């Protein structure tokens, strides 16, 4: 299902869940945050199926175990992770049909999006249904080609009925018509804009209806509602908005650290802005982004600082590192190094996009220009492998402006060549790769022995004796193969 914010995607997922009695329902949602954590959504979905993991064929079990952080091991193959989830879901569906609901898919981490799309494409006779809900803009590439349903606006008559049922009280006919026109058939706007109007009064008039600005106006209405709450409640809400997990324990710990009483949540719950249960949920994701966007940079940093303090460094080092990074005021090598370590952990689990995101942030926070450029280079490498060539190119352009060692300069040029190759710009690629090879020659002893452009296309004479060929094999084994430099 695709559609703009507030059009009713989550409501329809709830409807689907209610209509799927007798089926087992699994739900997960992408969460807005600058933090990309590999396989976070998949983790959410697979945890209830965990007992089935033991029954998976060993290669699938191992791959999924590493991806979900349940066990250590070599970087899991994406295909095997996908296959593991497919097997897990089909096995689970043998007892009861399985309905998988994935909300806000536009915020899924890329690793999870790929795996879930892989599974969705391969469902055949299994009693498994997967339903994704996503915004139109920046739609998830991974889901392209799956059958989709675009949610459109409510008719004026339906919009009027919804407005009347919203409990706002009788409205002047002219005002009512204006709200309906302004909301443009968006249910969330119909429910929220009257709040903004009742405060601002009706004298000011409205902006001309513009769909792209609608989300902004809904956010403004949410901000207005939040501004009426006590100061302590507002601070608590900001901490909640800065915490992508929706973990109530973390929220209470942070509240305690800030000296906020538990009762601070009550006014927000009464106003139906948040619900604190097994998870902290906001009435709508736009409320979360409105809260976060309205806070000053210093307020945001304070929220992340306290969240970093209360996040367990043993259990959740990556999330802690990320909060520390968001809390950092100036470049800080400690924080940058911590993020670099998180990148390595993410990479080991096969979270390439996550590794790239951590490294990019580590670069921004590096005080030393040389380290910053090296981290940008590393981030670019993973961005490219995550299928994000534009982001990779931007990072390379930034890195190229800094002083780099010759070897890094050569690596940068090689990466540019590889990106050109990926994008089918073959002649650029050839030029860049040859240039890279020339730059590698003086800095790489192996390549100095046999420069790549002199070797290419030339076949070596086969060994004349077994000893000669063995010696050559040994020599080759000691030497770094040239293709590794291109890989
Ligand atoms: N067809 C509808 N009729 C009445 N209310 C609706 C309808 N669709 C959505 N809503 C209400 O509008 C609000 C926003 O819907 P939601 O499903 O959260 O939007 P989305 O998930 O697309 O951002 C919710 O309060 C929801 O209950
Ligand atoms: Mg929604």
Could you read off the pLDDT tens digit of each residue along the chain, which spans 487 residues? Answer: 999 999 999 999 999 999 998 999 999 999 888 778 889 899 999 999 988 999 999 999 999 999 998 888 888 998 999 999 999 999 999 999 999 999 999 999 989 999 999 999 999 889 999 999 999 866 688 898 899 999 999 999 999 999 999 877 777 888 888 889 889 899 999 998 887 766 555 444 444 445 557 888 889 889 999 999 999 999 999 999 999 888 899 999 999 999 999 899 999 999 999 999 888 999 999 999 999 999 999 999 999 999 999 999 998 888 999 999 999 999 999 999 999 999 999 999 888 888 999 999 999 999 999 999 999 999 999 999 988 899 999 999 999 999 999 999 999 999 999 999 999 999 999 999 999 999 998 887 766 655 455 555 544 444 445 566 666 655 555 555 444 444 4
**Last residue within a domain, chosen from 128, 143, 158:** 143
Q: Are residues 121 and 14 in the same domain?
A: yes
Q: Is residue 48 part of a domain?
A: yes
Q: Is residue 395 part of a domain?
A: no
Q: Is residue 28 part of a domain?
A: yes
Q: Are residues 17 and 126 in the same domain?
A: yes
| Ion ligand 2: residue ranges with CB closer than 5 A | 9-10
Instruction: Please work out whether the CB of residue 188 comes within 6 Å of at least one atom of ligand 1.
Output: yes
Instruction: Please work out whether the CB of residue 135 comes within 6 Å of at least one atom of ligand 1.
Output: no
Q: How far is the CA of 316 from the centre of ligand 2 (A)?
A: 27
Beta bridge partners of 27: 101
Instruction: Please work out whether the CB of residue 7 comes within 6 Å of at least one atom of ligand 1.
Output: yes
**Structure tokens belonging to residue 113:** 């999006």
Domain range for 460: 446-485
Q: Is residue 425 part of a domain?
A: no
Q: Is residue 149 part of a domain?
A: no
Q: Are residues 12 and 117 in the same domain?
A: yes
Q: Is residue 430 part of a domain?
A: no
Q: Would you call 49 helix, strand, or coil by DSSP?
A: helix
Q: Is residue 169 part of a domain?
A: no
Q: How far is the CA of 5 from the centre of ligand 1 (A)?
A: 9
Vertex 127 angle, CA 49 and 29, to 5°: 50
Number of domains comprising the chain: 3
Mutate to test the pocket of ligand 1, among 8, 134, 282 (most ligand atoms within 8 A of CB): 8
Mutate to test the pocket of ligand 1, among 15, 187, 281, 284 (most ligand atoms within 8 A of CB): 187
Q: How far apart are CA 357 and CA 336, in angstroms?
A: 12
Ligand nearest to the CA of 3: 1
**Last residue within a domain, chosen from 286, 305, 326:** 326
Length of the chain: 487
Specify the CATH number for the domain of residue 57: 3.40.50
Cβ pair 452, 482 in contact under 8 A:
yes
Q: Is residue 398 part of a domain?
A: no
Q: Whose CA is closest to atom 8 on ligand 1? A: 8
Q: Are residues 7 and 107 in the same domain?
A: yes
**Last residue within a domain, chosen from 293, 309, 326:** 326
Cβ pair 17, 101 in contact under 8 A:
yes
Q: Are residues 118 and 234 in the same domain?
A: no
Q: Are residues 219 and 136 in the same domain?
A: no
């Amino acid at each position: 299902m695709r559609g703009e914010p507030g059009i009713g995607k989550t409501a329809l997922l709830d409807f689907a869940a209610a209509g799927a009695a007798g089926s087992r329902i699994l739900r997960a949602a992408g969460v807005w945050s600058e933090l990309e954590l590999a396989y976070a959504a998949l983790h959410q979905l697979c945890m209830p199926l965990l007992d089935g993991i033991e029954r998976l064929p060993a290669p699938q079990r191992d791959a999924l175990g590493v991806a979900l952080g349940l066990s250590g091991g070599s970087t899991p193959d994406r295909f095997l992770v996908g296959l593991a989830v497919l097997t897990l879901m089909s096995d689970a569906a043998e007892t009861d049909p399985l309905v998988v609901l994935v909300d806000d898919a536009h915020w899924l981490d890329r690793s999870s999006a790929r795996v879930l799309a892989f599974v969705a494409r391969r469902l055949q006779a299994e009693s498994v249904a997967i339903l994704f809900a996503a915004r139109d803009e920046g739609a998830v590439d991974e889901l392209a080609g799956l059958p989709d349903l675009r949610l459109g606006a409510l008719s004026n008559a339906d919009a009027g009925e919804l407005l009347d049922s919203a409990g706002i009280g009788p409205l002047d006919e002219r005002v009512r018509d204006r709200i309906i026109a302004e909301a443009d058939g968006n249910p969330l706007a119909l429910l929220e804009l009257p709040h903004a109007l009742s405060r601002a009064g009706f004298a000011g008039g409205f902006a001309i209806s513009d769909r792209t600005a609608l989300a902004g106006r809904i956010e403004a209405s949410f901000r207005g509602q939040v501004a009426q709450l006590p100061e302590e409640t507002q601070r608590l809400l900001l901490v909640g908005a800065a915490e992508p997990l929706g973990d109530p324990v973390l929220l209470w710990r942070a509240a305690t650290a800030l000296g906020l009483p538990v009762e601070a949540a009550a006014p927000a719950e009464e106003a139906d802005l948040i619900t604190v249960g097994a998870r902290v949920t906001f009435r709508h994701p736009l409320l979360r982004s409105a809260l976060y966007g309205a806070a000053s940079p210093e307020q945001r940093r304070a929220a992340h600082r306290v969240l970093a303090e209360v996040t367990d460094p043993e259990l959740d080092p990556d999330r802690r590192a990320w909060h520390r990074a968001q809390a950092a005021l100036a470049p800080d090598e400690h924080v940058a190094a911590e993020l670099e370590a998180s990148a390595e952990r993410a990479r080991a689990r096969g979270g390439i996009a996550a590794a790239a995101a951590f490294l990019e942030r580590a670069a921004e926070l590096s005080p030393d220009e040389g380290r910053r450029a090296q981290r940008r280079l590393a981030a670019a490498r993973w961005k490219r492998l995550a299928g994000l060539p534009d982001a990779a190119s931007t990072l390379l352009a930034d890195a190229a402006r800094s002083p780099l060692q010759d070897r890094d300069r050569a690596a940068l040029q090689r990466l540019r060549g590889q990106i050109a190759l990926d994008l089918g710009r073959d002649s650029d690629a050839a030029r860049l790769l040859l240039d890279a090879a020339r730059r590698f020659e003086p800095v790489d002893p192996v390549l100095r022995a046999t420069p790549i452009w002199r070797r290419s296309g030339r076949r070596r004479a086969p060994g004349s004796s077994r000893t000669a060929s063995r010696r050559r094999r040994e020599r080759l084994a000691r030497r770094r193969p040239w293709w590794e430099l291109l890989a």
